[in-house]
């Protein structure tokens, strides 16, 4: 990592630990301020709204009192029964209040008996009396169809009947709600510090008496038949307005919908069908907090910038000396083997100087260790090599290069290219498999190979190698040693060869023959294997008449004769002892022609053995038994037993012939195999 990268990594770490806590505190403070501001403004909205509702209630109660007084007067009662007139009282009421546009006296059916400014004879439908007989307000949508008073509401009171129940009629006041009227002055106006905040008066059907739209224009309900329902401020699950519709509780209910925060409450307990709604835009509850918090975040951001610049300056100065140290480390890393490159110590008393000094001491130890390693390699008969995966570089000790022609520049142990070029094709494949297994399993291995030296001699070497990994298990190096074991290996092979052959006949001995026959039967696949069991007829007579030395020469003569039948044809021969010989045929043509080959052996032996001086000629006769795998058996011992049984059949039937085994040959109990198989 360069000095530039290191500076910014350290700066980033410092910023994370310094600014992250400040950001968390700032975020908590932001939400706290916003919550406090919203709560305070909501309380203000509720308090002002509930306070304003008292004024609205007072205005309506004044009109209700005037209408109620006239309705209970003797003149109104008499007029309802057609015995007089209440016109003077109603005219006086209209004259005393400019907001009262007209006053009507209705009979019990709603027919207009008297009107101050309107016409008599009409019918006032949908009388606004409730079951309890208290004052009610009519719906703003219930506008008189037979005259037009403009923007108005209707305040009514029942005229008592002289009977036990019912009403004699009604007195109705038409009250203006135009701009400047008492009612409008009570319900209009803005809330302090709440943009978009206003007060609405809503009838029993949810129709607003006034509504302040986004343009800030008061829209009235009568002149343009405005039908804006308060339900637009509620979501489908909010029942605040419906809960209060028939309630006598003056307490308000809070809600939020359509971008507004609202409170719904009663105008008064005796004006049941009208509700007040105080509403304000949600943005009004966080405008101050947004400004305040934005300023706070600007301060935090500015502090972060200043701190970052300061951190870069401080860290840059601190890491100034480390830049040279990093360059020195790069040079050391790229150097070939141990090097005398060292760190330049500027101040031994500083911590950085102590680190540099410690590194220099460590490099001195590494240098001495590598020199020691090189010296040992030069003095040792063992040939050393090392493959570095990071640098992709092969080290080979000088004594190895002196003995073998190895291309260290192009050697890449990761794909097995090293000493494979000095091996036979078979050994090279085995070597590459061994190396791949070493790299896969990341352990050590030991094997023996034949390598060609610089003088073209082929020698045996023992190669041992071990894989060194990092803490994650990835290979770092492969270190190995090769040892010249040519003399020992050749001696071992000679001893092994002697142990595998019969001394007299130089054919395989019994154990070697059976071992090789087992291998051939295991890997034969769908091919056949044939075994011939050969016994020299009357060999005891030859030994007794001519002596054991001549007998040994006859054994060699028989061995040379039968060896010719399998040499260079894939088969092999063996001597089981005495005058017993065995042949294994793997060539399929020979197996198909086994009878002719058997007769050839018998005829060639019958030509006899002549001593080197020509003074003696001995006729040699033989009996041969043949068995096949898999026809007769796939078991080695059983197959040899069947061939021996077939040979014994020839012995019992005249000798000097051959016979192929059939199961009937084993039916007799006259023969007991002396070899026990």
Q: What share of the chain is helix, strand, coil (3-state, %, to 5)?
A: 45, 20, 35
Integer angstrom CA distances of residue 309 from 13, 14, 302, 304, 313: 14, 12, 11, 9, 6
For the record, the structure tokens of 444 come out as: 């050590």
Angle, CA of 358, 359 and 360, to the nearest 5°: 90
Cα 143 to Cα 101: distance, rounded to the nearest angstrom: 14
Residue 202 contacts residue 141 (beta carbons within 8 Å): no
Give alpha helix (H) positions in 501-610.
510-522, 539-546, 548-563, 588-592, 594-606
Q: Which whole number is the average pLDDT over 402-417?
A: 80
Predicted pLDDT at 513: 93
> Within 10 Å of residue 39's Cβ, how many Cβ atoms?
11
State the DSSP code for 339: -
Q: What is the pLDDT of residue 655?
A: 93
Greatest mean pLDDT range, 38-42, 335-339, 406-410, 537-541: 537-541
Write down the CATH superfamily of domain 380-491.
Answer: PAS domain (3.30.450.20)
16: phi then psi, degrees, rounded to nearest 5: -60, -45
* CATH of span 59-176: 3.30.450.20
DSSP 39-93: HHHHHHHHHHHHHHHHHHHHHHHHHHHHHHHHHTSHHHHHHHTTSS--HHHHHHH
Tokens of 74: 């003797």
Flag whether pLDDT at 677 surpasses 50: no
For 51-103, how does the pLDDT look when each residue is reduced to its tens digit (9 = 90+)? 777 777 788 788 888 988 998 898 888 888 888 888 899 999 899 998 898 89
Whole-number mean pLDDT of the chain?
A: 74
421-458 pLDDT, tens per residue? 888 888 888 888 888 888 888 778 888 888 988 888 88
Per-residue pLDDT reduced to its tens digit, 594-645: 999 999 999 999 999 998 888 889 989 999 999 999 999 999 999 999 999 9
> Does 313 have pLDDT greater than 60?
yes
Interval 36-60 mean pLDDT:
72
Report, as an integer, the average pLDDT of 475-491.
82
Cα(44)–Cα(26) distance, integer angstroms: 27
Q: What is the pLDDT of residues 101-143, one digit of tens each?
A: 889 888 887 788 898 987 777 776 555 444 333 333 443 333 3
- Greater confidence (567 vs 147) lies with 567
Q: Which pLDDT tens digit goes with each residue over 198-210? A: 666 665 555 555 5
Domains 186-287 and 380-491 share a fold: yes
Contact 88, 75 (CB under 8 A): yes
Q: What percent of the chain has pLDDT over 70?
A: 58
pLDDT greater at residue 309 or residue 560:
560
Cβ-proximal residues to 345 (8 Å cutoff; 6+ apart), any chain: 353, 356, 357, 360
Structure token digits, residue 115: 């009107």
In the numeric block, which tokens belong to residue 252? 């308000």
Does domain 501-666 sit in CATH 3.30.1220.10? no
186-287 classified as CATH 3.80.10: no
d(CA 505, CA 575): 7
Q: How far is CA 76 from CA 84, 121, 172, 206, in A?
A: 8, 17, 12, 33
Query: pTM for the full model?
Result: 0.39
User: In this predicted model, which residue has the larger pLDDT, 432 or 289?
Assistant: 432
CA 442 to chain centre: 28
Cβ-based burial of 369 (10 A; exposed 0-12, middle 13-18, buried ≥19): exposed
Tell which residue, 570, 563, 601, 604, has the closest CA to residue 585.
570
Helix ranges (DSSP H) in 468-547 = 486-500, 510-522, 539-546
Q: How far is CA 44 from the centre of its chain?
A: 53
**Angle at Cα 357 formed by Cα 351 and Cα 363, nearest 5°?**
140
Distance CA 177, CA 223 (A): 11
Tell me the domain boundaries of the chain.
59-176, 186-287, 322-370, 380-491, 501-666
- Write down how long the chain is: 677
**Selected residue with higher pLDDT from 456 and 47:** 456
């Amino acid at each position: 990592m360069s000095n530039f990268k290191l500076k910014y990594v350290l700066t980033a770490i410092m910023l994370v630990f310094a600014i992250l806590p400040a950001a968390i505190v700032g975020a908590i403070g932001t939400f706290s301020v916003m919550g406090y501001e919203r709560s305070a403004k909501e309380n203000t909205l509720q308090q002002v709204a509930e306070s304003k509702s008292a004024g609205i209630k007072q205005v309506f109660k004044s009109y209700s009192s005037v209408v109620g007084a006239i309705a209970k007067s003797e003149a109104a009662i008499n007029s309802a029964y057609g015995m007089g007139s209440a016109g003077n009282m109603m005219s006086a009421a209209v004259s005393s209040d400019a907001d009262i546009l007209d006053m009507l006296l209705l009979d019990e059916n709603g027919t207009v008996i008297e009107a101050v400014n309107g016409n008599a004879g009409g019918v006032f439908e949908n009388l606004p009396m409730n079951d309890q007989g208290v004052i009610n307000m009519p719906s703003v949508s219930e506008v008189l169809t037979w005259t037009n008073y403009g923007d108005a509401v209707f305040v009514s009171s029942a005229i008592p009947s002289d009977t036990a129940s019912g009403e004699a009629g009604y007195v109705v006041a038409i009250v203006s709600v135009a701009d400047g009227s008492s009612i409008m002055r009570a319900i209009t106006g803005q809330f302090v510090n709440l943009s978009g905040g206003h007060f609405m008066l809503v009838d029993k059907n949810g129709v607003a008496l006034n509504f302040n739209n986004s343009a800030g224009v008061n829209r009235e309900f009568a002149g343009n038949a405005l039908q804006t329902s308060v339900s637009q401020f509620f979501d489908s699950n909010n029942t605040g307005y419906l809960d209060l519709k028939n309630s006598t509780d003056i307490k308000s209910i809070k809600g939020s919908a359509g971008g507004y925060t609202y409170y719904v409450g009663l105008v008064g307990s005796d004006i049941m069908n009208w509700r007040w709604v105080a509403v304000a835009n949600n943005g009004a509850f966080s405008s101050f907090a947004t400004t305040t918090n934005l300023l706070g975040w600007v301060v935090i951001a500015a502090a972060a910038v200043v701190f970052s610049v300061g951190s870069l300056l401080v860290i840059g100065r601190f890491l100034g000396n480390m830049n040279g140290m990093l360059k020195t480390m790069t040079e050391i890393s790229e150097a070939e083997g141990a090097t005398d490159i060292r760190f330049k110590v500027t101040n031994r008393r500083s911590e950085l100087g102590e680190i540099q000094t410690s590194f220099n001491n460590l490099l001195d130890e590494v240098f001495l260790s590598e020199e020691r390693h090189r010296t040992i390699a030069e003095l040792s008969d063992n040939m050393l090599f090392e493959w570095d995966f990071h640098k992709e570089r092969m080290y080979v000790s000088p004594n190895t290069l002196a003995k073998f022609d190895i291309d260290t520049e192009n050697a890449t142990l990761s794909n097995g290219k090293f000493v494979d070029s000095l091996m036979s094709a078979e050994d090279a494949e085995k070597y590459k498999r061994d190396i791949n297994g070493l790299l896969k399993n990341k352990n050590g291995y030991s094997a023996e190979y034949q390598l060609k030296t610089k003088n073209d001699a082929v020698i045996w070497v023992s190669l041992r190698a071990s894989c060194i990994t990092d803490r994650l298990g990835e290979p770092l190096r492969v270190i190995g040693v090769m040892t010249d074991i040519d003399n020992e290996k050749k001696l071992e092979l000679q001893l092994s060869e002697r142990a595998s052959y019969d001394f007299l006949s130089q054919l395989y001995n019994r154990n070697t023959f059976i071992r090789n026959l087992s291998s051939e039967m295991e890997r034969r696949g769908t091919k056949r294997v044939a075994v011939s069991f050969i016994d020299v007829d009357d060999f005891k007579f030859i030994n007794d008449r001519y002596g054991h030395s001549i007998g040994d020469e006859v054994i060699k003569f028989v061995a040379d004769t039968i060896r010719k039948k399998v040499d260079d044809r894939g088969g092999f021969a063996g001597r089981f002892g005495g005058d017993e010989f065995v042949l294994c045929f793997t060539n399929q043509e020979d197996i198909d022609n086994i009878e002719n080959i058997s007769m050839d052996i018998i005829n060639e032996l019958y030509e006899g053995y002549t001593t080197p001086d020509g003074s003696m000629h001995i006729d040699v006769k033989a009996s041969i038994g043949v068995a096949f795998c898999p026809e007769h058996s796939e078991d080695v011992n059983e197959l040899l037993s069947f061939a021996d049984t077939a040979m014994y059949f020839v012995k019992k039937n005249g000798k000097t012939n051959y016979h192929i085994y059939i199961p009937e040959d084993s039916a007799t109990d006259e023969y007991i195999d002396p070899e026990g198989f």
